[in-house]
Amino acid sequence: MDLVMLKMLVESFLTIYWVYPLILFAYYGFEVIATRKVARKNTDYPLIGTWAPFTPRVIHNLIFAGKAVKILEEGYRKFKNKAFRLIRNEGSIVILPNCLLEELSLLPSNIASPHGALEHDLLGHYTGLNLILESRLHHSIVQRKLTPRLGLVTPGLENELQSAFEDYFPECDDWIEFQPYQVFGKVSARLSARALVGPGLCRHPTWLDISVNYTENLFRTIVILRLFPAWMHPLICYSLPSYWYCNQYVRKAKSLLSPIFRDLIRKSDDGLWSPQGTAEDSNVLCWLADTAKGRDRDADTLAHVEVLLALASVHTTLLRMVNVLYDTTANPEYFDELQAEIQGLNDSQNVWDTTSYSKLEKLDSVLRESQRMSPPTTLGLKRLFKEPYTFSNGMHIPKGTYVCLPTFAIENDPDNTTNPEVFDGLRSYRLRQRKKHGNMQQHSTRNDDHLFSSMEPTVLNFGYGKTACPGRHFASLVIKILFVKLLSEYDFKFLPGMGRPKNLMAHEFLFCWPWQKMLVRRKKDGICPF
């Protein structure tokens, strides 16, 4: 019996010893073949980021995940006015030159789809983002309702910030430690919620949990899944807790918001209700219930749209809040400059209102400079081509091609930004001053050049043209409201021996260091103007 057992163990060991390497070898061979097949597509464009001739695409993707900024900058410098390619697990992507920006931005979505590219990028089928392929409501409601009514929502945002500070910000008559990422995450969620779901729900713990943690789990899912080939995603996603959480948060949002939407839609259809522009109904929830039409006029769909809007607003605003604090603390000379601007503006006007924030040009300049050095992504103007297309310069793009622009490399090109390695908080402010005094020729007659929310050919963090981020003006307002409060009432510094933390990078995404601790102290005579 013992000999039989020993024989079985030896045979099992030999089987495992040969089978596992054989499986790995077969997988390696499959990946190499797939990589070579991808490499032979779109051969008109040079390939960058390749490590060795027979490197599988999973290795290419791992290298890109950790060195995206370096790879894209090298490709941009080498092929500045030409397109180039890089290999990712889902295939190759084509990086277009900036000279095609205008033409690309004007292409209709049935030819070059920005929504298809976004869904492809953020793995919509696994993260709940596939709704963006069916509805444009998340874009139109911000563009047509929220942005034109920022004056209506500003007082509510200011009040909500005061309340959030009482709930989350530490009492600090002397220097104490706090974690900006954790505190600002809660503050950002509350401010966004005030605009998205209104005063009745903006402090609801379930909604705040959804608006913060859906985004966190979405990016965890994306970062992990994109390390593996697309054919493995259905197998891997079910083992990821973050995947299940994403779907759970969408269900929670529908459970919380759908009954409210159902009631408002019924009243609206019966002619019993419509938004009156009051503090109670000047929010996205009411505007959605009032204006949604056709298949969008469905309670579950509208609840899902709210989740997408929370994704777009909470996380990106949080990153900017934290990075601006890191940058100003690392360059403390800006504290006095910005505080003086706020105080001077407050002294010069009878009332502090929505228009006051647009007059804070130095603060706006600091926001823009911080985003230049720490954008949320290094790629932009992403499009998935639904039809073949030939650009005016003769460059042909086959159907199914994913394209984008290296936005970070473009903005930080020394030809576009002088001394790009230096944080110069008043860079944009000086450009605007020169323009005002007529000392610099401008290619545009617009008065919004060089602003945080501007769209410019070499500043593409918010996109460009008709598909530019519609929420950029709201984001600018929210961040300025926060920093008017912070700069007026608090002092900040890093812990002894510590400085600005480096950004984290995963694929083309940049994240601020979330565990950084800082010191904060309340000013003895600091008074916020609102």
- Binding residues for heme, by number, are 469
* Cβ atoms within 10 Å of 350's Cβ, excluding its own: 5
Binding site, by residue number, is 469
Task: Quote the CA–CA distance of 251 and 141 in Å, as a whole number.
Answer: 22
Contact 123, 221 (CB under 8 A): yes
Cα 27 from Cα 422, distance rounded (Å)? 46
Pull the structure tokens for residue 530: 């609102």
CA distance 44 to 23: 35
Give, for 115, the enclosing helix (H) or strand (E). Answer: helix 114-121
- The structure tokens listed for 243 are 């995947």
Rounded distance between C-alpha atoms, residue 23 and residue 28, angstroms: 9
**Region class of 5: left (phi > 0), else alpha (psi between -120 and 50), else beta:** alpha
Distance CA 114, CA 122 (A): 12
* Residue spans of beta strands (DSSP E) within 147-204: 176-178
> What is the CB neighbour count within 10 angstroms for residue 502?
9
- Whether the CB-CB separation of 425 and 327 falls below 8 Å is answered with yes
Strand partners, 519: 177, 493
As a three-state string, the secondary structure of 293-360 is CHHHCCHHHHHHHHHHHHHHHHHHHHHHHHHHHHHHHHCCHHHHHHHHHHHHHHHHCCCCCHHHHHCC
Which amino acid is residue 402, in one-letter code?
Answer: Y
Closest C-alpha among 403, 406, 378, 379 to residue 391: 403
